[in-house]
Amino acid sequence: MMPAEVVRGAVRPYRFVDWASQAFLAAVIVLLLVFHRTAPAGWPWVILGHLVTMAGIHALVHADARGSRNPILGFLRAVYPLVLYTPFFRETELINRAIGAPRLDPLFLETDLRLFGTEPSVTLMHRFPQPWISELMYAAYFSYYIMIVGTGLWLWFRDRPVFRRYISVVSFVFYSCYFFYFWVPVIGPRLLFRTTPERDWYLARLPALPDLAIPPGVGRGLFHHLMAFVYRNFEAMSAAFPSSHVAVALTTLWFTWRLFPRLRWIHLIAVSLLCISTVYCRYHYAVDVPAGILAAMVLIPLGNALTRRVDGEVPANAICAPPDRG
């Protein structure tokens, strides 16, 4: 496939991120049509929304290819995938319900119990209920959003070709995780803190564990309330394994480690705390974390290779050995 770059005045408009975004949009349409009999009400509107989004992406791509000088169009052309991550994430629950795959939380609870003899998402918070620890953990979990936007902004102002590579790879990691969630629905340990069959299953096996309620003091912090707001309004009930928080945070670290040496250790500490916080804050089973690490190990090099293959904008060694811009 030819690179998406200027060649003798002509432009190959579509980049890898455009193909990946259009493919994900099309995949959701196909799945809803195939499983329409079991899809939740309103599925035709989802299809319509996807068709409109596909047309919008196509229009942005070709406006850029024609050399549009409109700065707003140029900015949207570069960053539009960021706007898609949250709605795509929310749709994983809808597609999962249409497909009808049973949630697999008992299997993951059983795995945690066999590996650790307990459920870490329950015991960690009770073992370390101090408000300063809990607030640090919720802040670490929230830092995920700062990592994505902050790394992107830094690259936007310093190196646009690498910024495009960054958006492509991050999008590829997101889309791959989301597509996996369609078929492997795992909600996470939040099921233990409400009336569910998983809660009854858990208590029947480990009745001596601490009360499942949040320890006093943990729920008072700013970041706890901030994450509670995020989960009330934007969470999908099927998207825990592997942890996309872990996979995408490691993707941002991959770029920081190579491009900004003075920030790499700070970023590494933040990612490490985030990995712990996914379990401490009761959003993920412990096994979701190594699965997220493994996903990153596979998807980051694959995303880079595909982007390099399709776009050809950044030399193969440009990200591996950049000048120190810290």
The first and second tokens of residue 320, run together, are: 């591996």
Contacts for 203 with CB less than 8 Å, ≥ 6 apart: none
What would the mean pLDDT of 279-296 be, rounded to a whole number? 94
Task: Give yes or no for residue 321 having a pLDDT over 70.
Answer: no
Q: What percentage of the chain carries pLDDT values higher than 70? A: 90
What's the CA gap between 6 and 311, in Å, rounded? 11
Mind listing the pLDDT tens digit for each residue in 86-133?
A: 999 999 989 998 998 888 988 998 899 889 888 898 888 888 988 899
What confidence tier does 246 reach under pLDDT thresholds 50, 70, 90?
A: very high
Contacts for 11 with CB less than 8 Å, ≥ 6 apart: 4, 5, 65, 67
Least confident of 221-225, 267-271, 313-317: 313-317
21 vs 325, more confident: 21
Least confident of 30-39, 219-228, 251-260, 287-296: 219-228
Supply the mean pLDDT for the chain: 86
What confidence tier does 310 reach under pLDDT thresholds 50, 70, 90?
A: very high
324 vs 310, more confident: 310
What's the CA gap between 241 and 223, in Å, rounded? 23
Q: Kindly state the greatest CA–CA separation across the chain.
A: 73
Burial of 179 (0-12, 13-18, 19+ CB in 10 A): middle
The first and second tokens of residue 118, run together, are: 């307990």
Domain locations in the chain as residue ranges: 6-310
What's the CA gap between 235 and 289, in Å, rounded? 18
What would the mean pLDDT of 167-177 be, rounded to a whole number? 97
Q: For 255-300, give the DSSP string.
A: HHHHH-HHHHHHHHHHHHHHHHHHHHTTSS-TTHHHHHHHHHHHHH
What would the mean pLDDT of 176-204 be, rounded to a whole number? 87
Burial of 7 (0-12, 13-18, 19+ CB in 10 A): exposed
What would the mean pLDDT of 166-186 be, rounded to a whole number? 95
**pLDDT for 208:** 61
Instruction: Identify the bridge partners of residue 11 per DSSP, sorted by sequence position.
Output: 6
Least confident of 13-17, 205-209, 235-239, 310-314: 205-209
Residue listed under structure tokens 């590829």: 172
What's the CA gap between 274 and 283, in Å, rounded? 11
What confidence tier does 319 reach under pLDDT thresholds 50, 70, 90?
A: low
What confidence tier does 323 reach under pLDDT thresholds 50, 70, 90?
A: very low
pTM beyond 0.85: the answer is yes
Cα torsion angle, 198, 199, 200, 203, sign: positive
Task: Give yes or no for residue 202 having a pLDDT over 90.
Answer: no
